[in-house]
Amino acid sequence: MSKNIKRIAVFTSGGDAPGMNAALRAVVRTASFHDMHVYGIMRGYEGMIDGDLKRLERGDVGNIIHRGGTILKTARSQRFMTPEGRRSAYESLLAFDIDACIAIGGNGTFTGAKVFTEEYDIPFIGIPGTIDNDLFGTDFTIGFDTSVNTAIEAADKIRDTADSHNRLFFVEVMGRNSGFIALNTAIGSGAGSVLIPETDTSIEQLVNALKKGARRKKLFSLVIVAEGNKNGNATEIARKVKEAFDFYDTKVTIIGHLQRGGSPTGLDRVLASRLGFSSVEGLIGGEQNVMTGLVNGKIKYTPFDQAIAEAKELDNDLVRMAEILAM
């Protein structure tokens, strides 16, 4: 058991992700069940620095489980990267008598938490909330499933028009430096090819695959492009492909921030509820400076330095399967 934790603060930080509200709801309700007081910090680390905290009761998190975005707002804080910023944040937490913090966010959020907890004696627990699914220590991050569903829905619509006009579409999806969103979107939308940061597919290989398709009388095609792939953005890739093979009329769609919004899927709501619940129960059980995650269906706590430093590998079997199914 840890020291008696009676007052906790919770915040969302970094890029928002569908399901953050569901996680927040679970944190507040679990903490209330254990007679803890919960404070919500507005705008992530920015609000922590500014002392922008407000009491959250059970009723304050009603009617939010289905809402995208985050009712606490979020930010990417430059000030928290400075020792002065972190000192102000610590003073704010002291002023509100906060015993522990729960951070809902991604890599940058947990990097901040790791530095802060090395400097100050306030324990943190992290909840993985990012559409990118790029955190080691959890099979899925909150928001990933919703984001993939949004991208697949968009790709389905693009497929209709691509088919009608015999066009080649390059559809760019987010994911920062990882290809989880792109690979899963490609599989789920039946795309012809996918370009992800984890593989070295060159423009030449892509053109060869498109030529092969054209020889089989494939009159349209979808290529899913991860924003972090090595060949450039979708517009640059489309131009290079067009130069090498102008058989198709070529178009580009960048799905962009559409993937970050919207009502969370059932999977994301359940995941967020489980991780919110386990963050509070973990704290009570003595977990500190770790991220709660779901590994093979079970809750697992992973130290921050491991969660942010270790690369989460894409499943090579999935990559191979995507290639075979697209042929």
The least CB distance from residue 230 to ligand F6P, in Å, is 16
* CA–CA separation, 54 and 48 (whole Å): 11
The least CB distance from residue 17 to ligand F6P, in Å, is 7
The least CB distance from residue 57 to ligand F6P, in Å, is 30
Contact status: 105 vs ligand F6P (CB under 6 A): no
Q: Are the C-beta atoms of 91 and 7 separated by less than 8 Å?
A: no
- CA-based R_g, the chain, Å: 22
- Catalytic-role residue among 132, 134, 145, 268: 132
Q: Are the C-beta atoms of 314 and 321 separated by less than 8 Å?
A: no
Contact status: 93 vs ligand F6P (CB under 6 A): no
Q: Which is nearer to ligand F6P, 162 or 181 (CB)?
A: 181
The interface with ligand F6P within residues 209-248 (CB under 6 A) comprises: 227
Contact status: 260 vs ligand F6P (CB under 6 A): yes
What are the start-end ranges of the E strands in the chain? 7-12, 37-41, 53-56, 100-105, 124-128, 167-173, 193-195, 221-226, 249-254, 290-295, 298-303
Residues in the chain: 327
* CA–CA separation, 189 and 311 (whole Å): 26
Count of chain residues binding ligand F6P (CB under 6 A): 10
The interface with ligand F6P within residues 262-301 (CB under 6 A) comprises: none
- Of 40, 68, 85, 106, which lies in the binding site for ligand F6P, with binding defined by CB under 6 A? 106
Concerning whether 60 is annotated as a catalytic residue, the answer is no
Contact status: 175 vs ligand F6P (CB under 6 A): yes
Instruction: Please report, for residues 97, 212, 255, 260, 305, the alpha-carbon distance to residue 309 in angstroms, rounded to integers and kept in the order given.
Output: 31, 40, 29, 24, 6
- Residue 14's CB is within 10 A of a number of other CB atoms, namely 24
- Of 176, 240, 251, 300, which lies in the binding site for ligand F6P, with binding defined by CB under 6 A? 176
Contact status: 111 vs ligand F6P (CB under 6 A): no
The least CB distance from residue 131 to ligand F6P, in Å, is 5
- Of 8, 98, 131, 237, which lies in the binding site for ligand F6P, with binding defined by CB under 6 A? 131
* CA–CA separation, 253 and 171 (whole Å): 5
- SS3 string, 232-250, reads CCHHHHHHHHHHHCCCCEE
Q: Which is nearer to ligand F6P, 106 or 128 (CB)?
A: 106
Beta 7-12 vs 100-105: how paired, if at all?
parallel
Contact status: 132 vs ligand F6P (CB under 6 A): yes
- Of 15, 85, 112, 129, which lies in the binding site for ligand F6P, with binding defined by CB under 6 A? 15
* CA–CA separation, 202 and 41 (whole Å): 45
Contact status: 85 vs ligand F6P (CB under 6 A): no
- Of 12, 92, 109, 130, which lies in the binding site for ligand F6P, with binding defined by CB under 6 A? 130
- Stretch touching ligand F6P by CB under 6 A, among 124-132, 237-245, 267-275, 300-308: 124-132
Residues that bind ligand F6P (CB under 6 A): 15, 106, 130-132, 174-176, 227, 260
User: Which residues are designated catalytic?
Assistant: 132
